[in-house]
A and B are shown apart, each in its own frame.
Chain A
Amino acid sequence: MNYKYIGKPYLRPDAINKVTGKAVYLDDVRLPGMLYAAVLRPQYAHALIKKVDTSAAEKCPGVVKVVTGAGCKFRYGDNIRDLQPMAVTKVRYIGDPVAAVIADTPAHARAALDKIAVEYEPLPVYTDALDAMAKGAALIHEDMDDYWRLPTLKQTSGTNIANTYHLKKGRGEEGFDEAEVIIEGEFNYPLGSCAAIEPHGTIVWFKEDNTIEVWSTSICPFIIREDLAHSYGIPIGDVRVHITDLGGCFGYKSDITTEQTIAWIASFVPGHPVKWMGTREEDFTSTLLAHGIRTRMKIGAKKDGTLVAIKTTLYHSGGAYADTAVNVTIASTHNSTGPYEFKHCDLTGYTVYTNTPAVGAYRGYGHQESQIATERMMDMLARKLGMDPLELRKKNFLSEGKINAVGEKMYKHNGNILECANRVQKMLAESVKPKEDDLYYYGRAQVTVMKSPKGAPFSTKGCYMKMNVDGSVNVNMGGAEVGQGLRTVIKQVAAEALKIPPEKVRVYNEIDTQFSPYEWQTIGSMFTTQGGRAIIRAADKLIASLKKTAAQVLKADEDFMEYDGEYVYLRNDPDMKVAVGDLARGYITSDGITIGELAQSVSDARLPRYSNPDANGQGSIGVDYTMGSQAVELRIEKKTGKILIDHYYSVFDVGQVINPLQIRGSVLGGVMMSIGAALYEQVIFDKDGKIVNPHYFKYHIPTFKEAPEQTIEFVETPDPIGPFGARGIGEHSVIGAAPAILNAVYNAIGVDFNEIPLTPEKVKAALEARKETK
């Protein structure tokens, strides 16, 4: 489709603030009378707290107050209320808050931490779901049965299993009796970190008038507001949450992370804002981690390659608190089919308590963690059937008319995955694979992937729009700008919908729950789709209101009014017109009498007919999908086992490109992150549950010289939900890298690897083992 402002590379409205150092991030907020908190973390990952002595710390220079969890009576959480702001009777992971110092400077607060004396009684430590599920394992949450949880969730009493999700489609596991070939495998996507360059931080201010004001590095201000209001027994409207510019999110700044802890601390010094800025180490040990998913998968097929049945059992090391992990497990489980139709599905996901930091969202939200299994299995199955792996995939795509695991029928508008696969196949065919030489083995592989959003019944996004007397427009929304570029998207969608140049659209900067429209959370690659729709709805209402006023001015019927962005005019006599700016405050007649109303509007948009899953996990829970194909060309250095990524290909059906510069940037970055996960990144625990590598120089994220060349293209099959046909793309680019790389390594050296990160040591050991068997 040809649009005037959609599909053009407009520049980000926030770029200039960011290159001049004027963007305000959390740590840049300075408030009068501000105090600083430092938080004590335990020496044990699982232990009873016997005694806390704060007396020495209280005497340290600059110390205002030392806080413990004693007396804390409430728990919080959106899915399972298993969290407490500070440890009360026991610690459950190495970053659990035990106590905190409030002081006049951050340095004074940190210095006094050492003076807090804590006696512990250590308990057994489990850092992997399988160990925590073993018979006789010590319980991490003894009182789990007493916790409030969503009615759709179910714990297993007397174990560490916080929830079991199960999906059955068709005849479930019985369906394997229709299969002629069956393969099985186990795959592991270990714990990692989003590791945004800006660490987490929070400021909480309990005010004398019994209101609470918060600033946080979060993408869910409205959840924070509701949660704190509930915990402290005040009206929701009396909690005001500000979201500053955010230095990256990638998932782990969603849900409540550190806000309740800092609020608990600040509640002891009412009248003073209390700031806590996480160190890089705390960002690893004491906020949300990612992944931690082990997948056992069984796939049955006909000899001609038709997929028949799938059984997935997913063991999720969810961390010490399962509130944020449980939905990752669910999304990972029901999306473990990848972009393929299986007649029979038996999918089970266990969310298991472990003595590790809680797992939360990470770009991809469970999809890459289980689709590493699906995409490895497709290549393995193809090998067993003697088929081309891409042909096997193409035969089974979730294309028009197919039914996915949750029972949704797929339509043409869900995207043309075949076209994505064909384009990537062509790109690979045009690049000649080098022959093995003295230094390197060469490999390549292509995968196909799918992602749905993880919605919720109330997952809506609001939009406030007002027109000014010069015809310019202010758009205010609750979407958090984490770097994804949603302000640019808002500008372009609003401009297109209002038929005015983007230069006349001013987009909000900071989010403030006092003034911003409601937004559930800015998650799930849903902003463009839902937020965009909210903008179009608001624009339609605004235009209708302009027409209503103009009809009075022009003394004609409303349905004769036409709008072109500059004027409202009479359809049958365009010379009869009134400028939109003259209608903005209502229309002021020559005698000063004003008619009509302010040109402003309010709207919101959800995923249409999202529903909770039924007892078999069936329901309209995905609603919208983005599918695509990715491929990698890599080299393995013979001497070291090091994998070098030469070229990475991505083609996704995004419905409609809104901004070509930004969408390429999004995919470039997502691919780079997922290559990091596949080759370098893992949060490593010792046997006592301590994190061995909580720093960038030990937890290596990809650097400039490790960035491969990337070819990125988009297919545009318009989506009926999103604005002007656009659908979500923020997370999808991370899904393919791990299986593509593992499949390409098999292509290069004929060795199957089923877990990441695939470090040089592992590859070198395999190369040496292969030599010995030759």
Chain B
Amino acid sequence: MSEMITFTINGEERTVVIEPGMMLIELIRDVLNLTGTKHGCDNSTCGTCTVVMDGKAIKSCNTPAEKAAGTKIITVEGLAQGTQLHPVQKAISESGAVQCGFCTPGIVMELYGLLESNPDATEAEIEQALNKHLCRCTGYEPIRDGALMARKLIQERKK
């Protein structure tokens, strides 16, 4: 049976009808037309579909759409304020972490989820978070550099 749910996405309250078996990624990409969140595999392995739900990074491809009800979701489209990039976006765009960019939305959201809740995350915590994401282009070093730069920017912002 179709179901009607209400949730907040990128600061905006939305009420939508969802179909049985629908996953959060389909709700985001196909119902709400927010195509920044990507689909890279069939088995929640690659991490590019990551969004932040109630402050926590989750994979939208294995999260049933009905779980969105009553939550606050942020996707990669929800971070920048006009032309002002979020520190994670700024750092990732400047550290060489972007090549093809297909894993980028997931990595940006993973780091946003981690660093906004824990600006003092240790390198081990950052590594643990990034190890959930596949990147075929960069050899990961520039992503680590970007993550550390983002942490610094966020720490400075909070001072």
Asked if B70 CB lies within 8 Å of chain A CBs, one says no
Q: Mark A474-501, 1 if CB is under 8 A from B, else 0.
A: 0000000011110000000000000000
Q: Mark A1-36, 1 if CB is under 8 A from B, else 0.
A: 000000000011011111111111101101000000
Partner of B40, one of A14, A16, A28, A199: A199
User: By the criterion CB–CB under 8 Å, are A695 and B141 in contact?
Assistant: no
- Which residues of B are found within 8 Å of A664, using beta-carbon distances? 96
- Of A224-232, A240-248, A745-753, the one contacting chain B is A240-248
Q: Tell me the count of chain B residues lying within 8 A, CB to CB, of chain A.
A: 50
Residue on A nearest B104 in the bound complex, by CB: A18
User: By the criterion CB–CB under 8 Å, are B139 and A672 in contact?
Assistant: yes
Residue on A nearest B76 in the bound complex, by CB: A21
Asked if A696 CB lies within 8 Å of chain B CBs, one says yes
Q: Chain B's nearest CB lies how many Å from the CB of A22?
A: 7
- Which residues of A are found within 8 Å of B77, using beta-carbon distances? 20-22
Q: A27-B35, A197-B136, A668-B139 are in contact. Are A18 and B98 (CB under 8 A)?
A: yes
Asked if A236 CB lies within 8 Å of chain B CBs, one says no
Whole-angstrom CA separation of A485 from B142 in the bound complex:
14
- Which residues of A are found within 8 Å of B143, using beta-carbon distances? 704
Q: Mark B31-72, 1 if CB is under 8 A from A, else 0.
A: 001111111111101101000000000000000000000000
Q: Mark A409-446, 1 if CB is under 8 A from B, else 0.
A: 00000000000000000000000000000000000000
- Which residues of B are found within 8 Å of A277, using beta-carbon distances? 39
User: By the criterion CB–CB under 8 Å, are B140 and A697 in contact?
Assistant: no
Partner of A16, one of B43, B85, B99, B136: B85
User: By the criterion CB–CB under 8 Å, are A16 and B93 in contact?
Assistant: yes
User: By the criterion CB–CB under 8 Å, are A18 and B42 in contact?
Assistant: no
Asked if A504 CB lies within 8 Å of chain B CBs, one says no
User: By the criterion CB–CB under 8 Å, are A196 and B133 in contact?
Assistant: no
Asked if A408 CB lies within 8 Å of chain B CBs, one says no
User: By the criterion CB–CB under 8 Å, are A20 and B79 in contact?
Assistant: yes
Partner of B75, one of A12, A21, A247, A697: A21
Q: Chain B's nearest CB lies how many Å from the CB of A264?
A: 25
Q: A19-B85, A701-B134, A701-B136 are in contact. Are A662 and B96 (CB under 8 A)?
A: yes
Residue on B nearest A105 in the bound complex, by CB: B30
Residue on B nearest A16 in the bound complex, by CB: B93
Partner of B94, one of A11, A20, A25: A11
Asked if B144 CB lies within 8 Å of chain A CBs, one says yes
User: By the criterion CB–CB under 8 Å, are B76 and A196 in contact?
Assistant: no
Asked if B154 CB lies within 8 Å of chain A CBs, one says no
Residue on B nearest A248 in the bound complex, by CB: B100
User: By the criterion CB–CB under 8 Å, are A197 and B135 in contact?
Assistant: yes
Asked if B73 CB lies within 8 Å of chain A CBs, one says no
Asked if A250 CB lies within 8 Å of chain B CBs, one says yes
User: By the criterion CB–CB under 8 Å, are A280 and B100 in contact?
Assistant: no
User: By the criterion CB–CB under 8 Å, are B140 and A198 in contact?
Assistant: no
Whole-angstrom CA separation of A483 from B101 in the bound complex:
7
Whole-angstrom CA separation of A752 from B48 in the bound complex:
39
Whole-angstrom CA separation of A197 from B106 in the bound complex:
11
10 A-B pairs with CB atoms under 8 Å apart are A20-B77, A21-B77, A22-B77, A197-B134, A247-B38, A247-B40, A281-B42, A483-B99, A668-B140, A703-B140
Q: Show the binding face of A for B, using Cβ within 8 Å.
A: 11-12, 14-25, 27-28, 30, 194-199, 245-250, 277, 279-281, 482-485, 661-662, 664-665, 668-673, 695-697, 701, 703-705, 707, 710
